[in-house]
């Protein structure tokens, strides 16, 4: 199988190869972490033909014998060669109970350079942070951004390709399938079910599976809307579903831990104070958001635009928030290296009132950081209004930097 390089990630990882720090690739299932591992292996062998590569994939049947740290230690005992450049790759490491003990021992002995992947955020918040604090660096892998989508699918940059991206999302395996509802959505539904089963229900010990599925569907239908666990609980009670606010919060966290959805908090633009309420949720992959019943591109377009912009800001390594400036709201505030970027997203600038709202919210911000209005307007795209750039969605998604 030909591996298509994703330099947005491989170039970030390369400087840490051979530096004695564990490289951790996190992200949702099927976003391409395994292929990036294979790309790194190829790069290592190219520069060091004598390298001893040890690869373990917990998704392969032959590695099911490795259930815990003792099994892992026993397996590696004869694989790590003395006086050699050893490189250890473990895919989906969270499936090995107690893996962190072996990794800590190997790193302390400088026995090998270690690369691991994981599909559940709890792995970082518990095992890694507790036992390997200061000994690892995380690289969060996202599904394909729009530029990568065009490369993987060998598509021209036009409106039809953009709509395909908004519809089917960026899971890399889709490049082997025809981009049709029948084939693509069938694959996406299978991935969605696997994530719910393996990374949410099984790992988090979820008991009320029906409610989890209802909550995931509710989140998909309310992408970009202000969320309140209390309001969701009240809504469910009106539907004669008695679920506590605490359980709603816990189940949302479980979906977030599996990287299926992402919580975006609100901050005050002036003081960068974080608010305790008023979060929004966005899906990690557009196709997984769309693959279930009732998807309609025209009806959902405004939600997908916001989700796509959010994902692009994440791929550019921004910490992303919803901004509040007095009574006004800014769709996204991206923070990186002490600097900011502001983005308003709208379907179309249909009238002067809409233009005043979208541009006015940004004009009210008294600083000189980059500001964008993103829409699907074909006219006046690329125009500049008092330093605020108006871009078509496709043009925004192709940017590799945002004026920093």
Q: Do the Cβ atoms of 263 and 279 come closer than 8 Å?
A: yes
Quickly state the pLDDT bin for 89 (edges 50, 70, 90).
very high
Quickly state the pLDDT bin for 293 (edges 50, 70, 90).
low
The full DSSP string for 62-74 is GGTT--BHHHHHH
pTM, to two decimals: 0.94
Q: Are strands 280-283 and 261-264 parallel, antiparallel or unpaired?
A: antiparallel
Of 163, 291, 279, whose CA–CA distance to 231 is shortest?
A: 279
Topology (CATH) of 7-140: Rossmann fold (3.40.50)
Strand partners, 340: 335
Q: How far apart are CA 282 and CA 21, in angstroms?
A: 32
Residue 55 has pLDDT above 90, yes or no: yes
- CATH 3.40.50.300 maps onto the chain at 7-140
pLDDT of residue 133: 75
pLDDT of residue 164: 98
pLDDT of residue 361: 93
pLDDT of residue 292: 83
pLDDT of residue 124: 63
Of 220, 227, 225, 305, whose CA–CA distance to 260 is shortest?
A: 220
Q: Which residue's entry shows tokens 């509802």?
A: 181
pLDDT of residue 125: 67
Render pLDDT for 131-140 as a digit per residue (tens, 0 to 9): 787 789 999 9
Question: CA-CA-CA-CA torsion for 186, 281, 59, 173, nearest 10 degrees?
Answer: 40
Residue 380 has pLDDT above 90, yes or no: no
Q: Which residue's entry shows tokens 């750039």?
A: 389
Residue 42 has pLDDT above 90, yes or no: yes
Q: Are strands 328-336 and 339-345 parallel, antiparallel or unpaired?
A: antiparallel
**What tokens does 229 get?**
């666990």
Strand partners, 227: 279
Residue 69 has pLDDT above 90, yes or no: yes
**What tokens does 336 get?**
């990186």
Quickly state the pLDDT bin for 1 (edges 50, 70, 90).
low
Cβ neighbours of 391 (radius 10 Å): 19
Phi and psi angles of residue 388, each rounded to the nearest 5 degrees, phi first: -95, 120
**DSSP assignment letter at 175:** G
Render pLDDT for 233-287 as a digit per residue (tens, 0 to 9): 787 778 787 888 889 999 999 999 999 999 999 999 887 677 766 799 999 999 9
pLDDT of residue 310: 98
Render pLDDT for 328-361 as a digit per residue (tens, 0 to 9): 899 999 999 999 999 999 999 989 999 999 999 9
Mean pLDDT in the chain?
92
Tell me the residue ranges of DSSP E strands in 160-200.
Answer: none
pLDDT of residue 212: 93
Q: Do the Cβ atoms of 243 and 233 come closer than 8 Å?
A: yes
First-to-last alpha carbon distance for the chain, in angstroms, is 38
Residue 53 has pLDDT above 60, yes or no: yes
Residue 127 has pLDDT above 80, yes or no: no
Q: Do the Cβ atoms of 192 and 287 come closer than 8 Å?
A: no
Quote the Cα angle for 148-152-157, to 5°. 65
Question: Any alpha helices (H) in 14-155, and if so which ranges?
Answer: 33-47, 69-76, 99-108, 122-123, 129-131, 146-153
Phi and psi angles of residue 20, each rounded to the nearest 5 degrees, phi first: 75, 20
pLDDT of residue 123: 67
Residue 147 has pLDDT above 60, yes or no: yes
**DSSP assignment letter at 279:** B
Average pLDDT over every residue of 311-335: 94
Strand partners, 43: none
């Amino acid at each position: 199988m030909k591996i298509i390089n994703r330099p947005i990630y491989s170039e970030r990882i390369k400087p840490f190869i051979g530096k004695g720090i564990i490289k951790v690739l996190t992200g949702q299932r099927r976003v391409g972490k395994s292929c990036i591992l294979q790309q790194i292996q190829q790069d290592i062998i190219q520069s060091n033909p004598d390298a001893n590569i040890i690869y373990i994939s917990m998704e392969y049947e032959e590695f099911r014998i490795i259930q815990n740290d003792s099994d892992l230690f026993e397996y590696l005992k004869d694989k790590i060669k003395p006086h050699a450049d050893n490189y250890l790759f473990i895919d989906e490491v969270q499936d090995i109970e107690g893996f962190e003990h072996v990794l800590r021992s190997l790193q302390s002995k400088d026995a090998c350079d270690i690369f691991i992947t994981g599909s559940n955020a709890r792995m970082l918040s518990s095992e890694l942070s507790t036992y390997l604090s200061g000994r690892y660096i995380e690289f969060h892998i996202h599904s394909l951004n729009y530029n990568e989508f065009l490369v993987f699918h060998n598509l021209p940059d036009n409106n039809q390709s953009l709509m395909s991206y908004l519809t089917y999302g960026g899971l890399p395996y889709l490049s082997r399938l025809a981009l049709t509802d029948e084939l693509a959505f069938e694959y996406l539904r299978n991935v969605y079910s696997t994530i719910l089963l393996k990374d949410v229900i099984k790992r988090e010990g979820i008991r009320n599976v029906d409610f989890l599925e209802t909550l995931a569907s509710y989140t998909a239908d309310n992408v970009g809307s202000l969320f309140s666990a209390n309001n969701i609980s009240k809504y469910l009670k009106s539907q004669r579903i008695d679920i506590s606010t605490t359980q709603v919060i816990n189940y949302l966290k479980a979906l977030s831990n599996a990287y299926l959805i992402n919580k975006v908090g609100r901050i005050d633009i002036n003081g960068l104070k974080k608010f305790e309420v008023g979060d929004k949720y966005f899906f990690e992959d557009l196709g997984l958001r769309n693959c279930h019943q009732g998807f309609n591109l025209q009806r959902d377009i405004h939600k997908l635009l916001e989700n796509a912009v959010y994902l692009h800001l994440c791929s550019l390594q921004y910490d992303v928030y919803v901004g509040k400036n007095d009574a006004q709201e800014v769709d996204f505030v991206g923070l990186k290296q002490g600097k900011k970027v502001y983005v308003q997203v709208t379907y179309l600038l249909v009238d002067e009132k809409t233009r005043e709202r979208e541009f006015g919210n940004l004009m009210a911000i008294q600083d000189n950081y980059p500001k964008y209005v993103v829409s699907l307007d074909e006219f006046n795209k690329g125009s500049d209004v008092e330093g605020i750039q108006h871009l078509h969605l496709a043009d925004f998604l192709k940017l590799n930097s945002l004026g920093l």
